Amino acid sequence: MQHGRARVVPQVRVRAGRDSQGVLHHGRCRGDVGGRHRLGRLRSYPRPDQSGGIVTETPVVLGIETSCDETGLGVVAGTAMRSNVLASQVEIHARFGGVVPEVAARAHVEAVRHLAHRALSEAGVHQTDLDGVAATQGPGLVGALVVGFTFAKSLAWALGKPFIGVNHMEGHLFAPLLGDPGFSPPAVVLLASGGHSQVVHMKDWGDYEILGSTIDDAAGEALDKTARFLGLGYPGGPAIDREAENGDPTAIAFPRALPDRPYDFSFSGLKTSLITYVRDHRDAGTLPPIPDVAASLQEAIVDVLVAKTFNAVDATGVKVVGGGGGVMANSRLRARLQEEADKRGVTLFVPPRDLCTDNGAMIAVVGAHKLARGEDTGYNGDVDAGLSTPFVTSRPD
């Protein structure tokens, strides 16, 4: 049974490219978009002892995420989300069928100062109340990363506050906390996004093992590319999800790759199989309805993601399963994970859908954890577009 969720502050989305005003002053930003939201009362939780557990009450941290095509900023107090605002670039990149790195970086520049003010304002926090500032250090697009990382360092320096660089994937590992503070290791966590597909054994906060990963395309990449081929638009994940609602997932028997490798993924062959199938049957006039194609593709991806995740659950004996990354917003994946968790008597923690995709709050919560443990990147750090996931790769015995 899924653990009961704490009330979640709604995410606010604004159009990228709006007029950006200074953040280093107090008061409402001219050009602010939309009305101010009245936030629910901040929930606080007892501080742990010094054994290294998660800190749930303080510190107050502003997190900045600009690794790809979303400018996300959020404020947390420990694990309690105070605000989460986002400037989406979906419309900007849709006409290109994918993310254009230079365009993404420019959009981040236009949005980040305005969103910093908005995140602080909606959190009811003045910049001087911050205990630290965190930003994504990598992996990601180097030009995009530089925008948020440099802004965050500069703000931290100007305020005399600590600066914490955060690994983007660790942000997704911590994201379930934003929906439910009861999430805690040991756990198996499925990370599924446009750039990564990994099964991670989360032994403790900061102590992780990669049990399996994709050997080629990530799940999100396969969804994006097949959706574009089918003419469903960009981004592909939500488009496939919507189309599949009216389709038959058993209509086409697409392959499930690497059955003999219990934790690893491969999605490039599935993508090729779909393209070949559609071309052959379209030419022959026997192509099933596109919703059936989408549903069958989605089912093949979900089957593999769920199977590998619970192979790891069975091998490690954990009683907690988590999920993070944009693909985790897929309705079929969430339902299947819950079904399998219920069968095994384990608890599933997945973020609310709007916190599965890239956001600043997940970066802030990692930053708060690191700051509480005395970690500080300092002002001389730099981005690393190829930053390795900070896990030890190994297999359970």
CATH of the domain at 126: 3.30.420.40
Residue 357: exposure state from Cβ atoms within 10 A (0-12, 13-18, ≥19)? buried
Is residue 53 one of the residues assigned to a domain?
yes
* Stretch 369-380: mean pLDDT: 94
Least confident of 4-13, 89-98, 245-254, 273-282: 4-13
Residue 327 CB partners (closer than 8 Å, separation 6+): 192, 193, 194, 197, 219, 220, 223, 237, 305, 333, 356
- HEC readout, 250-285: CCCCCCCCCCCCCCCECCHHHHHHHHHHHHHHHHHC
Whether omega before 185 lies within 30 degrees of 0, making that bond cis, reads no
pLDDT at 58: 80
**Distance between CA 391 and CA 43 in Å, rounded?**
31
Report how many helices (DSSP H) and strands (DSSP E) the chain contains, helices first.
11, 12
Shared domain check, 113 and 55: yes
Distance, in Å, from the CA atom of 121 to the CA atom of 18, rounded to the nearest integer, reads: 17
321 and 371 share a domain?
Answer: no
pLDDT of residue 56: 57
Whole-model pTM? Answer: 0.83
Pair 269, 234 in one domain = yes
Q: Phi and psi dihedrals of 135, rounded to 5?
A: -150, 155
Q: Band the pLDDT of 247: cuts 50, 70, 90.
A: very high
Which of 49-58, 85-94, 107-116 has the highest mean predicted lDDT (pLDDT)?
Answer: 107-116
Shared domain for 213 and 66, answered yes or no, is no
Kindly state whether residues 376 and 347 are assigned to the same domain: no
Residue 339, in any domain of the structure = yes
Domain assignment present for 162: yes
Cβ atoms within 10 Å, residue 23: 23
**Residue 50, in any domain of the structure:** yes
172 three-state secondary structure: helix
SS3 content of the chain, % helix, strand, coil (to 5): 40, 20, 40
| Same-domain status, 191 and 123 | no
Mean predicted lDDT score pLDDT of the chain: 86
Structure-token pair, residue 170: 């660790």
* Dist CA 359 CA 336 (whole Å): 25
% of the chain beyond a pLDDT of 90: 76
Q: What are the backbone angles phi and psi of residue 191, rounded to the nearest 5°?
A: -105, 115
User: Is 161 found in the same domain as 196?
Assistant: no
* pLDDT value at residue 234: 86
Q: How far apart, in whole angstroms, are the C-alpha atoms of residue 252 and residue 293?
A: 7
- Residues 242, 338 within the same domain: yes
Domain that holds residue 206: 187-353
Omega within 30 of 0 (cis) for the link into 139: yes
pLDDT at 386: 82
> Of 338, 353, 368, which one is at a domain's C-terminal end?
353
The pLDDT of residue 105 is: 94
- Mean pLDDT of the region 70-78: 96
- 3-state class of 323 per DSSP? strand
Cα gap 61→365, rounded to integer Å: 7
Residues 327 and 250 placed together within one structural domain of the fold:
yes
- DSSP H or E run through 86: strand 80-88
Does 2 fall in a domain?
no
Q: How far apart are CA 237 and CA 241, in angstroms?
A: 6
pLDDT for the residue 7: 36
**Same domain flag for 41 and 139:** yes
**Residues 151 and 201 both lie in one domain:** no
Question: For residue range 295-321, what is the model confidence (pLDDT) as tens digits?
Answer: 999 999 999 999 999 999 999 999 999
For the segment 155-160, the average pLDDT, to the nearest whole number, is 98
- Counted domains in the chain: 2
16 occurs within a structural domain: yes
When pLDDT is cut at 50, 70 and 90, the band that residue 265 belongs to is very high
Burial pattern 51-85, b for ≥16 Cβ within 10 A else e, equals: eeebbbbbbbbbbbbbbbbbbbbbbbbbbbbbbbb
How remote is the C-alpha of 140 from its chain's centroid?
13
Please, are residues 13 and 73 in contact by the beta-carbon 8 Å criterion?
Answer: no
Band of pLDDT at residue 91, cut at 50, 70 and 90? confident
Map tokens 């309705």 to a residue.
331
Question: Do the Cβ atoms of 220 and 192 come closer than 8 Å?
Answer: yes
- Give 323-359 pLDDT, tens digit per residue: 999 999 999 999 999 999 999 999 999 999 999 999 9
Q: Is the peptide bond before 59 cis (omega within 30 degrees of 0)?
A: yes
Work out the average pLDDT over 186-207.
95
Please indicate, yes or no, whether residues 43 and 142 belong to a single structural domain of this protein.
Answer: yes
Q: How confident is the model at residue 98 (pLDDT cuts 50, 70, 90)?
A: confident
127 part of a folded domain? yes
Of the candidates 229, 218, 235, 219, the one whose C-alpha atom is nearest the C-alpha of residue 290 is 229
Report if residue 256 sits inside a domain. Answer: yes
Residues 63, 134 contacting (CB under 8 angstroms): yes
Kindly state the average pLDDT of the residues 249-278. 97
> In the structure, what pLDDT confidence band is assigned to residue 64 with cuts at 50, 70 and 90?
very high
pLDDT of 396 above 80: no
